[in-house]
Amino acid sequence: MIENNSDLKYVLDSVGKTALWICALRSVSTAYYCLNYDGAADNLESNNQDFENRAIAYLKEKKDLFIPNDPRIASIVYPELKVFDPYSFYFISNLDTKEFIMEFYEQYFEEIYKLYCERQSKVGTIHPRSFSKEELKQIQIQKFKDNFHPIYSWVDLWTTHMIYGISFRTYLIDQMFMNAYQQGIKQFVILGSGMDTRPLRMPLDSQCKVFELDFPSVLSFKQRALEPAIKEIKPASDCKINFCPCDLSDGNWIETIRSQGFDSERSTLWIAEGLLFYLDQSTITKLGNIVNNNSGAKSKFIIHTFVEKSLDSPCFNYKKDDSLKIDGNICKKYLDFTIDIDNREFLSNNGFSSNIEEHREIGQSLISVYSIGTKL
Ligand SMILES: C[S@@+](CC[C@H](N)C(=O)[O-])C[C@H]1O[C@@H](n2cnc3c(N)ncnc32)[C@H](O)[C@@H]1O
């Protein structure tokens, strides 16, 4: 439980809450991975075996706290997409995030119930019998109260389809990240880093420097939550992480990272995962320019966008133009799906190869596209 929660309140009231949500989904895949872990056979190529062994042993020892003993998890994750983020549990294991999920649940209960009924009629009964609205609400609320990790009740009802997307995304970017490192990149800039823990869980050497950029409150919550976590689960990485509080919608962030030792001449891996659709067009353009002007030879840029917009899920029922004052910065509270980004064009306009590697999720209502370009 995290005590001084004022920064978390900011996080929960802003776009920062999406970072918690994504990390909660990652924790579901991680729980599955830990529960099914059978030692050497399950070695993650991009990860560190020793770190994994220690972390899994630790999580198993504390499994009542960290890993819900819920067989349904097995039915909602994809074993071939191995995701292992033991730190994700620490971000969602506190009462405030529980409250956030409850509030979200209350707010969207009507839509959730609609989805539940549709699912019942499509695939037959998932539950032993159909529940009335009131019964269902009661059951879910009870689950929230009983479970230390309310996310499982939440996921269970309506975000199961997101588990695949987040597992795919984490797995893929883990691979891209490690490939870049193996090709000699030692400087990493994570734009809108949220609760991303790659710099801790990937086996980077002590020559590596990572710059994590996000709103001040997000990074302050993250650092507090990580303090006990890294004592309990020693990171796989020896790199230096520089937390750089900023608002990416102004151009000053480049000065912030320079003041912390960022070197524009070096090869850098830039990551914009789960970020661009929260920014407006002029911020995206500015961001592309800054990256272009501050990338040494052989730098790489990973970007992630959405292509389909059949937003039938309540989580995407966001209103545009609703912004919020936070830490003196205006941040967009909601996703802006009016912005179309062509990954290829964006990368080549900003000095990266148009011969990019591109991956798409399949079978989702909202399809993510992941691209990585190399600086020309
Ligand atoms: C969906 S989360 C993704 C977090 C992380 N990249 C991941 O994939 O797990 C989006 C993150 O972008 C951050 N963000 C959005 N707009 C931002 C801005 N203008 N400046 C700094 N961070 C921003 C949010 O605070 C949040 O942490």
How many CA atoms are closer than 13 Å to the CA of 23, on its beta-carbon side?
24
Ligand 1 closest atom vs CA 304:
8
Whose alpha carbon is nearest atom 13 of ligand 1?
192
Whose alpha carbon is nearest atom 7 of ligand 1?
196
Burial per residue of 178-193, b for 16 or more beta-carbon CB atoms within 10 angstroms, e otherwise: bebbeeebbbbbbbbb
Residue 7: CB within 6 Å of ligand 1? no
Count CB neighbours of 133 within 10 A: 12
- Of 335, 195, 202, the closest CA to residue 269 belongs to 202
Find the mean pLDDT for residues 15-34.
Answer: 82
Find the mean pLDDT for residues 77-105.
Answer: 77
User: What's the 144 CA to ligand 1 centre distance in angstroms?
Assistant: 26
Query: Euclidean distance between the first and final Cα of the chain, in Å?
Result: 47
Helices (H), the chain: 6-12, 17-35, 49-61, 63-66, 72-76, 88-92, 95-107, 109-123, 133-146, 151-154, 160-182, 198-201, 216-232, 253-259, 281-293, 343-349
Q: State the angle between helix axes of 17-35 and 49-61 in degrees (0 to 180), rounded to the nearest 10.
A: 90
- Of 226, 229, 255, 73, the closest CA to residue 149 belongs to 73
Q: Is the pLDDT of residue 321 over 90?
A: no
Burial per residue of 271-287, b for 16 or more beta-carbon CB atoms within 10 angstroms, e otherwise: bbbbbbbbbeeebbebb
Residue 166: CB within 6 Å of ligand 1? no
Residue 329: CB within 6 Å of ligand 1? no
User: What's the 188 CA to ligand 1 centre distance in angstroms?
Assistant: 16
Q: Is the pLDDT of residue 110 over 90?
A: no
Instruction: Give just the sign of the alpha carbon dihedral 98, 99, 100, 102.
Output: positive
Q: What is the pTM of this model?
A: 0.85
Which of the following CATH numbers is that of domain 166-374: 3.40.50.150, 3.40.50.880, 1.10.3080.10, 3.40.50.300? 3.40.50.150
Q: 327: which residues sit within 8 A by CB, 6+ positions away?
A: 10, 215, 216, 217, 245
pLDDT at residue 359, as a whole number: 79
**Domain spans of the chain, in order of start:** 6-161, 166-374
pLDDT at residue 77, as a whole number: 67
Confidence band for 313, pLDDT divided at 50, 70 and 90: very low
Residues 230-253 pLDDT 10s = 999 999 999 999 999 999 998 899
Residue 15: CB within 6 Å of ligand 1? yes
